[in-house]
Amino acid sequence: PTETEQDHQDTLSLMEYVKYDFGFMFAYSERPGTLAERKMEDDVPEETKKRRLQEIINLQQKHSLYRTQQQVGKTVEVLIEKESKKSNEHWSGRNSQNTTVVFPKGNFKVGDFVNVKITECTSATLIGEAIGYSVNSKN
């Protein structure tokens, strides 16, 4: 509540300066029984909230894609967490920056630390090929 257009522009400016790796963004909504509901008027129209949120999401996606694109061609260490949601022939894990990395299973298993050469990306996911166990793996 009470966010002005200048406040919103300041948020976008800060995001442009910091270029966060990822973010969790939501429009404000009143929650019954909270202090905010009792003390603050929700004076920002719903259409304005939707527009501002979309602007923030779009900017964050741009920054996230920029960050993941910087990893293409590099080798990253990945802790295998689970089977990929999109393919039972791929593993999904995370690197030390908490970015999801997907790659073909090979002979690896959940819990292994694997070096993965990144070949492509989306704004949220690195995609690559495993090139072997990392020094941290207890294979």
Q: What is the pLDDT of residues 32-79, one digit of tens each?
A: 888 888 888 889 999 999 999 999 999 999 999 999 999 999 999 999
Which residue, 69, 94, 112, sits at the end of a domain?
Answer: 69
> What is the number of domains present in the chain?
2
Place of tokens 């294979």: 139
What is the spatial distance between Cα 63 and Cα 87, in angstroms, rounded to a whole number?
27
Query: Which of 104, 105, 102 lies closest to 127, judged by CA?
Result: 102
Percent of the chain with pLDDT over 90: 82
Of residues 15 and 2, which shows the higher confidence score? 15
Instruction: Using DSSP, state whether 89 is helix, strand or coil.
Output: coil
| Model confidence pTM above 0.75 | yes
Which residue, 50, 69, 88, sits at the end of a domain?
Answer: 69
Query: Which range marks the domain in which residue 11 is found?
Result: 5-69
* One domain, residues 58 and 100: no
User: Is 90 part of a structural domain of the chain?
Assistant: yes
- CATH for 99: 2.40.50.140
CB 72 within 8 A of CB 84: no
* One domain, residues 27 and 50: yes
Which residue, 69, 91, 117, sits at the end of a domain?
Answer: 69
